[in-house]
Amino acid sequence: MKIVTFPHWKPRLPAGVTLLSLILNGILLSRQPVSLDDFHVALSAINFTESGQLGPTMWNHPVLRNLLVYGTMKLFGTGVLGVKGVSLLLGTLCTPLVALVARRIFRDERIALTAALLWAVDPLVIDFSRQGINDIYLAFFPLLGIYLAYRFRETANSAWLLVSGIAFGLGLASKWSALFPLTATFVLIIVTIAGGAGGMRERLARYCHVTALLLVIPALVYLLTFVPWFARGYTPAEWPALQRSMFLETSQHAGYKPKLWDDRDNRAWKWFVVPSLFVDPFMNLDHIWGDEEVVVTPEKNVTVVLGVANPLVWLLTLPAIFFLLRRGIRQRDEGRVYLVALFCCSYLPLILSPRPIWLNTALSVLPYAIMAVGGLIWTLADRLQRPGRGVALYLLLVLLVASPLYPLAIGKGMRIPFFREYLASRYLVQFKEKMPHTPSQP
């Protein structure tokens, strides 16, 4: 095994970006009204952990979210930390992970920090780091698995690969799409072994070693998350039928309920081609409860959370991937080719899927897209006389665009005059027909 080493870097800057991420993800979180999804996430956590039954919401997805949310609700109660604490933590920790992985892929700290910053300020990331549902897990666990696999390559210490396998297993137990980066990472290590020193006997032993730690361990972790289900009396022989049922629902899923707004923007191929957004309007009557004088109106009682993809980042992704691939092949740069493989493995199955794929799923692709954009920006900037200024200008523009998108991502758009009219006309018309005239008992 070829051992790759990296010089120690000062953690101040990544820590600063992580702190920024924590602030953006956490600010006013307890004042963001609880959505129906959040409520059902908490209910499903209780249902699965105490009764071993999937559902009532998103029963077709793997079950790690139920276990984690149940754990945080036991620790912190059913307040904001209990319901959303896991997403907040994992969404924030993705920021240093993006930096750590990008640093290993590009061997360039500037790119690593730029990618981390782009991640921290992305409205979709902020949106889903503030929700109970588990899409942000799909960024975190594979990134952690990749980082730990790199640590294994740096040290040849099997313990790193073991925890990498566990991280990928937890990713699989969040959603099956973690399988794609796991496959790319497995192939990378297999190719490394094939191209390394040693005879057939050594290689064969190493193939078995990697297979055990990077395929068998994730499978076992995934299986173990179903312990509450097995405690209902099921045996492993009955488990494949459950997986089949979950797979059939997931592969044909077209939404749990018809949506009350324009829901046509659900094709994965569009994400990096045209400006895209994730729409999540929901009604919550917390603040008017018990006050009979207050009239319920969509403008006051419907929260519209909009995760708008920052076009200055997202629309650069495909050129960045093309550029990376070309450069990776020409320079035989393993890191760049690996990043392209991670992106393609994660993205192509979503493009090819015949079912609707909403933008929340893009979080499983976004870390690699953002790293690629960071790489492209610095490669282009290095052609300038003062690369730092060029990148600073780009980042300034990104932040300028991200600033007005932030209140939309945290559900405060209805408080801003211009956005209020836009959101009301675009998303609240259908809600008006369903609004209760007077509040009924909850």
Partner 1 sequence: MPELTVRRCCAIFAIVAFFAVVVIAALHRLGSESRVVGKSGLIGSPDIVKLMADDPSEAYRIWKEFGYRGRIIVYLADRWETCNPDEMIPAPLARPYPLSLVNPARFLEENNLNGATFLYIASLNRITRKIVALLPPGEISRMVGATKRGKDFQITSSGIDDSRQGFPRRFTTVDHFAGSGEPVLLYVGASCLRAVEPEELYRLLIKSGVTTDCVILCREKGKDSVSPVEVAKLHRFARLMGLRTLSGSRGATRYVAPMAAVPAS
Q: Using CB under 8 A, which residues numbered 62 to 81 contact partner 1?
A: 73, 77-80
Q: Is the preceding omega at residue 56 within 30 degrees of 0, hence cis?
A: yes
The set of residues, in sequence order, having a beta carbon less than 8 Å from that of 110 and lying 6+ positions away, is 378, 391
Residue nearer to partner 1 on the CB measure, 220 or 329: 220
Among 6, 23, 50, 329, interactor with partner 1 by CB under 8 A? 50
Which of 419, 416, 396 minimizes the C-alpha distance to 308?
419
In this structure, are residues 170 and 138 in contact, taking their beta carbons and an 8 Å threshold? Answer: no
187 is a contact residue toward partner 1 (CB under 8 A): no
Return the residues of window 283-302 that contact partner 1 according to CB under 8 A. 283-286, 289
441 exposure class (CB count in 10 Å sphere: 0-12, 13-18, 19+) = exposed
273 is a contact residue toward partner 1 (CB under 8 A): no
213 is a contact residue toward partner 1 (CB under 8 A): yes
7 is a contact residue toward partner 1 (CB under 8 A): no
Return the residues of window 300-339 that contact partner 1 according to CB under 8 A. none
Return the residues of window 132-171 that contact partner 1 according to CB under 8 A. 155-158
| Residue 154 exposure: Cα atoms within 13 Å on the Cβ side | 15
Euclidean distance between CA atoms 229 and 140, whole angstroms: 25
Return the residues of window 18-37 that contact partner 1 according to CB under 8 A. 30, 33-34, 36
CB of 295 to partner 1, least distance (A): 14
Which of 240, 258, 238 minimizes the C-alpha distance to 248?
240
Measure Cα distances from 164 to 15, 141, 146, 215, 223 in Å.
23, 9, 7, 10, 16
118 is a contact residue toward partner 1 (CB under 8 A): no
Return the residues of window 397-416 that contact partner 1 according to CB under 8 A. none
CB of 307 to partner 1, least distance (A): 21
Euclidean distance between CA atoms 117 and 99, whole angstroms: 9
56 is a contact residue toward partner 1 (CB under 8 A): yes
Count of positions on this chain that bind partner 1 (CB under 8 A) = 75
Amino acid (1-letter code) at residue 68: L
Stretch that binds partner 1, among 50-58, 273-281, 351-359, 394-402 (CB under 8 A): 50-58
Residue nearer to partner 1 on the CB measure, 42 or 345: 42
Return the residues of window 235-254 that contact partner 1 according to CB under 8 A. 235-238, 241-242, 244-246, 248-249, 252
Residue nearer to partner 1 on the CB measure, 128 or 226: 226
Among 11, 15, 53, 275, interactor with partner 1 by CB under 8 A? 53
Among 20, 212, 315, 344, interactor with partner 1 by CB under 8 A? 212
In this structure, are residues 164 and 152 in contact, taking their beta carbons and an 8 Å threshold? Answer: yes
Residue nearer to partner 1 on the CB measure, 82 or 142: 82
CA 52 to chain centre: 26
Neighbours of 158 (CB within 10 A): 13
